[in-house]
Amino acid sequence: MTSGEFGTADDRGSGPAQSGSSGPATPGDGTRAVRAGLPEPLKYEPTLPGPVFAAHFHLPGEPTGPYTYGRDENPTWTLLERAIGELEAPGQESVETLSFPSGMAAISAVLFSQLRAGDIVVLPEDGYQVLPLVREQLTAFGVEVRTAPTAGDAQLEVLEGAKLLWIETPSNPGLDVCDLRRLVAAAHAQGTLVAVDNTLATPLGQRPLELGADFSVASGTKMLTGHGDILLGYVTGRDAALMAPVRRWRKVVGAIPGPMEAWLAHRSLATLQLRADRQTATARTVAEVLRDRPEVTGLRYPGLPDDPSYKIASQQMRRFGCVVSFTLPSRERAERFLDALRLVDDATSFGGVRSTAERRGRWGGDAVPEGFIRLSVGAEDPEDLVADILRALETSAA
């Protein structure tokens, strides 16, 4: 059996949106993750073929694919792209996925291949901190960039006449959530395309294409691969005509993943459900512990029932992710807290099996208080992590 035989839109899993869905005949997220993208079993061949290192392929006669030159296609990408497509859009054979060497390469490929001078694009005001640089570049190319905050579907107010709506939900690092179905309906009603940055949720946490988006775009550097050792990105789309310019952009710019990274990513997908379930459950535990601390303000976790994001998140997300954000009273207190942690590395990025945390204000790009901490919960034992965090909170008070 190949993994392509798996998957319907209402498949099982462990997140909130699956309750009451189909019976045991439909494989769950763990089953789909371990089999995603695997080729037909061939005697004496490995289950997941190793990385193919090739700048060119034997190509006598007419130069037709699938494999001609290493910048255009590679068999290791093919398997990874198939796997991601199966997770992003189960049962939808027609989706196409393109892999990229980083999340930013994937984001830029969509924006710069779809937009022309004179077009209007709506970007999040509170999204990933490189987006302001992207905004500058788009503006320099003659694209009109409008921004809106993620919370409260504020994008609706600036949507008129836009060619593309770019959504990041949950937003990084503020963890606001917007209503994807509602925004897609409004955008499509006026012919606006919708792309969703699915980095924080992962395809096991949220399926933007099923919610109506035209593109699901992500950094695979985070939870998708989960070990903090590779950079990767991807774009999944359902419409071949919209994906063709993205593919052409990849070729023109030469923004291609290395076969080793692509293979490592594919191997890592097998544990995605295990990691996502563990990290999501512990993130909620950590958030509940932080909620009771007097020095913590502005706590955000979309999976907490009293979080402002919870209502919409539980309608469109299947897992709430591993990122918790909160604010300590001052920059100094936050720095002492980070310094006192023993099981949480003071590092940027998120989604890895080793917990990380950082004071986001140190980068200067996010509109956050000086004591704002973004904590990415890893796969450590929850009781060890909670003890470490509580101890660091106590130590940093002095």
Q: Which residues bind ligand PLP (CB under 6 A)?
A: 102-104, 107, 128, 168, 172, 197, 199-200, 219, 221, 231, 233, 349
Tell how strand 323-327 and strand 345-346 pair up. Answer: unpaired
Could you tell me where the DSSP H helices lie in 254-325?
A: 259-269, 272-291, 310-316
In the complex, minimum distance from the CB of residue 170 to ligand PLP, in angstroms, rounded to a whole number: 9
Of 231 and 386, nearer to ligand PLP (C-beta) is 231
Least distance CB 16 / ligand PLP (angstroms): 21
Cα torsion through 349, 350, 355, 357, rounded to 10: 60
**Closest to ligand PLP by CB, 78 or 219:** 219
Nearer of residues 8 and 349 to ligand PLP, judged by Cβ: 349
Q: Which is nearer to ligand PLP, 209 or 340 (CB)?
A: 209
CB of 340 to ligand PLP, least distance (A): 25
| Residue 195, strand partner residues | 166, 215
- Shortest distance in whole angstroms from residue 135 CB to ligand PLP: 14
Q: Which is nearer to ligand PLP, 229 or 381 (CB)?
A: 229
- Cβ proximity to ligand PLP, 102 vs 282, nearer residue: 102
**Which residue's CB is nearer to ligand PLP, number 81 or number 197?**
197
Within 10 A of 339 (CB to CB), how many other CB atoms are there?
A: 11
For residue 216, the cross-strand partners are 196, 236
Quick one: 138 or 340, whose CB is closer to ligand PLP?
Answer: 138
Token duo for residue 263: 């293979």
Shortest spacing between CB 219 and ligand PLP, in angstroms: 3
> Given the complex with ligand PLP, which of 314 and 349 has the nearer CB atom?
349
Give least dist CB 363 to ligand PLP, A.
11
Q: Name the minimum Å distance from CB 197 to ligand PLP.
A: 5
Smallest distance from the beta carbon of 231 to ligand PLP, in angstroms? 5
CB closest to ligand PLP, residue no: 103
CB of 118 to ligand PLP, least distance (A): 26
CB of residue 279 to ligand PLP, shortest distance in Å: 15
CA distance 140 to 127: 20
Q: Rounded to the nearest 5°, which phi and psi values hold at 181?
A: -60, -45
* Residues pairing with 193 in the sheet: 164
The DSSP symbol for 43 reads T
Backbone angles phi, psi at 3, to 5 degrees: -65, -20
The 3-state DSSP composition of the chain as helix, strand, coil percent (nearest 5) reads 35, 15, 50
DSSP states of 75-124: HHHHHHHHHHHHHHSTT-TT-EEEEESSHHHHHHHHHHHH--TT-EEEEE
Instruction: Choose between 96 and 197: whose C-beta lies nearer to ligand PLP.
Output: 197
189, burial (CB in 10 Å: exposed 0-12, middle 13-18, buried 19+): exposed
Coil/strand/helix, residue 235: strand
Those residues whose C-beta lies under 8 Å from the C-beta of residue 166, and which sit 6 or more positions away, are 111, 121, 122, 123, 124, 127, 195, 197
